[in-house]
Structure 1
Amino acid sequence: MSHSAPALRPYLPEDTPVLAAIFAASIMDLTGEDYSEAQQEAWASAAADEDAFGKKFAGQLTLIATLEGEPVGFASLRGTDHIDMLYVHPSAAGQGAGRALCDALERIAGARGAKKLTVDASDTALEFFRKRGYVAQQRNTVTVGDEWLANTTMQKTLNGVAVTGGHA
């Protein structure tokens, strides 16, 4: 592969418009097998208010993944132990940005004393997190606008002890 490895940097307020675009493109282009168009549109609309979207990033530990200096993905940690968002632009999917972001959040959470990390994974992201050692804990349904979207709360133990399925 000729792609360079993604670099990571902290979120800056001026990143908000490009992160909103990455968020919407990721949802609209990558989740079509798991969610209806109406569900995708409702989900992506969370970025329509860029001020509110930017405040969310500023209130969490948010990292940006870049390839050749351009933002291609982002992830945020809410509190010390919950991955709130992890999105990669469709053009960069499969190039390591999601992996690099998740690796960094896992290291940061561990360094902050977290024993486990949780994420509410979309159906599209389930396999990504499963391959990283996250174990499904429960199914959730969230309302976004007039639409219902399903996701799965997953958990990974960070202190090197594996979490086994079904034993939460």
Structure 2
Amino acid sequence: MSRAAAPALRPFLPADTPMLAAIFAAAIEELTGDDYNESQQEAWAAIAVDEDAFGKKLASELTLIATVQSAPVGFASLRGKDHIDMLYVHPGAAGQGVASMLLDALEKLAGGRGAKSLTVDASDNAQGFFAKRGYVAKQRNSITINGEWLANTTMQKTLSSGGGQS
């Protein structure tokens, strides 16, 4: 009666940085090709090339790690009390509930910090995921990352007092 191990959550540790940088790059490379071209993907993934800076960014936010059998498979970070800064899942773990578990946890933590709503600047490939979870598109954005223009959409969800959808 063996089943795939359920993901678990734990806080970010500085030693996680190289693995999270690899998850970040793999997710961009393998999961965003329908929405972004190769130059855009390379510019976006290059954010994690400087692992020291990437680790400092993760440490400066509330960052949670999803693990399966103690190995990181995804991560998410909350900037301030009400903005999801990052949510990335390794392609090998995509579609297995990891992102949903991470998002549920961030919503509860944000609600616990007094946030009335959560915002996220969702990549084009992530919009459907957030929409299914009750996030509503508010505005389109064009941002420059390492000399490349990328589009995303600011989405917002109103939280109930328990951190869920109202």
Normalised-by-shorter TM-score class: over 0.9
Preserved CA contact (<8 Å) 1:116 1:157: yes
- Name the residue aligned to 2:7: 6
2:68 and 2:22 mapped to 1: Cα distance?
Answer: 16
Per-residue Cα deviation, 1:75-107 (whole angstroms, up to 9, x for no partner): 000000000000000000011110100000000
Preserved CA contact (<8 Å) 1:137 1:154: yes
Preserved CA contact (<8 Å) 2:66 2:72: yes
Q: What's the offset of the Cα at 1:68?
A: 1.3
Code of the aligned partner of 2:28: I
TM-score, normalised by the number of residues in structure 1 = 0.94
1:2 and 1:119 mapped to 2: Cα distance?
Answer: 33
Code of the aligned partner of 1:42: A
Code of the aligned partner of 2:7: P
- Taking every aligned residue pair, what percent have the same amino acid on both sides? 71
Once the two structures are overlaid, the 10-residue window that deviates more, 55-64 or 2-11, is 2-11
Preserved CA contact (<8 Å) 1:3 1:95: no
Preserved CA contact (<8 Å) 2:134 2:165: no
Unpaired segments ≥5 residues, structure 1: 163-168
1:4 and 1:161 mapped to 2: Cα distance?
Answer: 28
2:40 is the alignment partner of 1:39: yes
- Name the residue aligned to 2:70: 69
1:24 and 1:116 mapped to 2: Cα distance?
Answer: 29
- Name the residue aligned to 2:54: 53
Root-mean-square deviation over aligned CA pairs: 1.2
2:123 is the alignment partner of 1:91: no
Unpaired segments ≥5 residues, structure 2: none
1:67 and 1:152 mapped to 2: Cα distance?
Answer: 30
Secondary structure of 1:137's partner?
strand
Secondary structure of 2:16's partner?
helix
Code of the aligned partner of 2:32: T
1:161 and 1:30 mapped to 2: Cα distance?
Answer: 27
TM alignment of 1:14-163, pairs within 5 A: 14-159=15-160, 162=166
Q: What's the offset of the Cα at 1:2?
A: 3.5
Q: What's the offset of the Cα at 1:146?
A: 1.8
Secondary structure of 1:108's partner?
helix
Once the two structures are overlaid, the 10-residue window that deviates more, 27-36 or 153-162, is 153-162
TM-score, normalised by the number of residues in structure 2 = 0.95
